[in-house]
A and B are shown apart, each in its own frame.
Chain A
Amino acid sequence: MSDTQLYRRLERLAAEMRWHIVRMMGPGKAHHFGGSLSAADVVTALYFYKMRYDPANPRWPARDRFLLSKGHAVPAQYAALAMLGVLALDELPTLKCLGSRLQGHPAMHLTPGLEGCTGALGEGLSYANGMALAGRILGQPFRVYCLLGDGELQEGQVWEAAMTASRHRLGTLTAIVDRNRLKAMDETDRSKLMDPLPERWASFGWAVREVDGHDIAAICQALDWATSPREQPSVIIANTVKGKGVSFLEGNPNFHNGIMTEEQYRAALAELAARRAELEEGG
């Protein structure tokens, strides 16, 4: 497969993932639309391009690990796992329903394919460090990917973990920051000074690359850069748009955790379906 064909395939998969995300959420209930959609291209690149992962055996000890530290975006991960066959596609609409194994935030003991429990922000990078350290101690050369929100970086534990990772030279660890510039209420910069973000990570001892988080080719190339042999942990700052793919959600903080009307829901699915069709036609 040529690179062009590969990236077109990944774009189609990302479009499909976005459709599943909105579809499983449905109208009339509050869901984390914005942060799930902003992360979709990164999650696609990880599961369908980068990670050593066997969907038939999600507990394979040598698998690469993907830890979703911004746990509220778990619909993106559920969609990926369903597209891979780890979960059933028709299970997705049970999201957050009583008795479903698809909890509102990741529950590793309930849902196959999840690597940890997250939801309280700020704790995931430490946990990813723990998996990378365990891989070293056990002589398992798997890689660990950890997706954080940019608002999440306001939690101090992230920076404790950042110092731990560089101290232990966790070259098998890659963090990805979903830099959509919005948190639950409003802009991240309104509460804390976030810039210069790349320099901050670099000063904590990390190798840093910044990409357009909706350019699949750029994300894949950044992941290849991150996984080239190195002693430093690496971080990819993925500049994204919250709610990406549905025009009335894009950049709209009301849909961090918002409710779609029936009309909005139909419009969103139609827009995402049109995008899928456009990519299919383009080959």
Chain B
Amino acid sequence: MAERIETRFAYGEALLELGRQRPEIVVLDADLYKSTRTVLFRDAFPDRFIDIGISEADMVSTAAGMAATGLIPYCNSFAVFITGLCYVPIRTQIAYPGLGVKLIGSSAGLTQGPDGASHQSLEDLALMRVLPNMAVISPADDLETRQATFAIADWPGPVYMRLGRYPVPRVLDASYRFQVGKAATVREEAGAEVVLFATGHMVWKALEAAEILARDHIAARVVNVSTVKPLDEAAVWQAAADVALAVTVEEHSIIGGLGSAVAECLSSRQGAPPLLRLGVRDRFGESGLADELLEKHGLQPDGISSSVRQRLAGREVNQP
């Protein structure tokens, strides 16, 4: 198997390079710089790095003041804290005026693993997606994380980017070019019967699920929706228009994240296929190994492919 890399590691390295190129980049962290991998930036640019301490709201508000003064701040914490503990400061001070603060939520999703529900962010995409002006990005692998880290510096408004601590293989071609707001088909099959829309770590799982389905002679297209907002509605519709079933796969609540975004898009179109939303079904996580948790929630390739088969057979999908 190809080398597997955690997206947070790709981010830390890209951020360091970005810091070398752009003197207006500043980085804030809330006592997690070794986990979030901003430690590399900290060591290289101590004058442009602030460990604000265990005070996430203070961090994002401080970053807003820095953005208003001409800097480009990258704020870092675990996804659950940087979205949840800071919600109103993000809303009032960053999203409302459209200040270009970059919020990086690390260790997101079930694959956070052993720390349990308090640390497993399954709502962050929903919380950020509902804010006007906010772009929401969930890269699939190390290549996309690296490109997105650079690209969001040039995106004029606020951004939330979701990263993980789960090693994933490279799923994108070397020729891939990330753009904010663009979804990309990563697996195409002639006569595709199903489209799997996936984001983050789940792009890899969806690709493996498509392999399993192919063995059963079910042709599946896979689309990487790394920008959950603004959703690439044209690409979503184009990929869904000719299939019998659309599926979303995310390591997040099925409420408010990718599943909701795609549902909102397809529900406004005539002749849209039925939609199956795979993810966490309105519940909290729990302690366990990342792979065990994905298995339990039906988000490993076997679980995804079997849900698709059940639904194509007209049965209710029996997910945990």
Contact = CB atoms under 8 A, between A and B. Distances in A.
Nearest to A162: B58
B93 interface: yes
A123 B89 contact: yes
Contact of B88 (A67, A116, A120): A120
Interface in B63-121: 63-71, 73, 88-89, 91-93, 96-98
Interface stretch (B46-54, B141-149, B305-313): B46-54
| Interface range for B | 20 to 34
Contacts of B185: none
Interface in A30-73: 61, 67
Contact of A115 (B58, B66, B68): B68
A61 B88 CA distance: 28
Contacts of B287: none
A137 B97 contact: no
Contacts of A138: 69-71
Given A116-B65, A164-B62, A107 B70 contact: no
B97 A109 contact: yes
Contacts of B96: 107, 109, 117
A134 B68 CA distance: 9
A124 to B, nearest CB: 8
Contacts of B73: 130
Contacts of B62: 126-127, 129-130, 133, 161, 164
Interface string A184-197: 00000000000000
B68 A126 contact: no
A130 B92 contact: no
Contact of B61 (A109, A126, A134, A163): A126
A108 B57 contact: no
Contacts of B61: 123-124, 126-127, 130, 157, 161
Contact of A128 (B63, B65, B89, B97): B65
B50 A131 contact: no
B70 A161 contact: no
A116 B93 contact: yes
B69 A119 contact: no
Residue of A119, A130, A164, A168 with highest tally of chain B CB at under 10 A: A130
Contact of B48 (A126, A130, A137): A137
B319 interface: no
Nearest to B60: A126
Q: Counting chain A CB atoms within 10 Å of each CB, which of B48, B65, B70, B97 scores highest?
A: B65
A118 interface: yes
Contact of A116 (B57, B64, B98): B64
A129 B60 CA distance: 11
Contacts of B59: 126
B87 to A, nearest CB: 10
A176 B63 CA distance: 21
A231 interface: no
Given A130-B68, A130-B69, A131-B66, A123 B93 contact: yes
B213 to A, nearest CB: 48
B50 to A, nearest CB: 7
A126 B65 contact: yes
Contact of B65 (A109, A134, A157, A163): A134
A170 to B, nearest CB: 11
Nearest to A109: B97
B97 A117 contact: yes
User: 4 tightest A-B contacts by CB?
Assistant: A130-B65, A126-B61, A134-B69, A160-B58
Interface of A: 61, 67, 107-109, 115-120, 123-124, 126-135, 137-138, 140, 157, 160-161, 163-164, 168
Given A116-B68, A128-B65, 12 more contacts: A107-B96, A108-B68, A108-B97, A123-B88, A126-B59, A129-B58, A134-B26, A134-B71, A138-B70, A138-B71, A161-B58, A164-B62
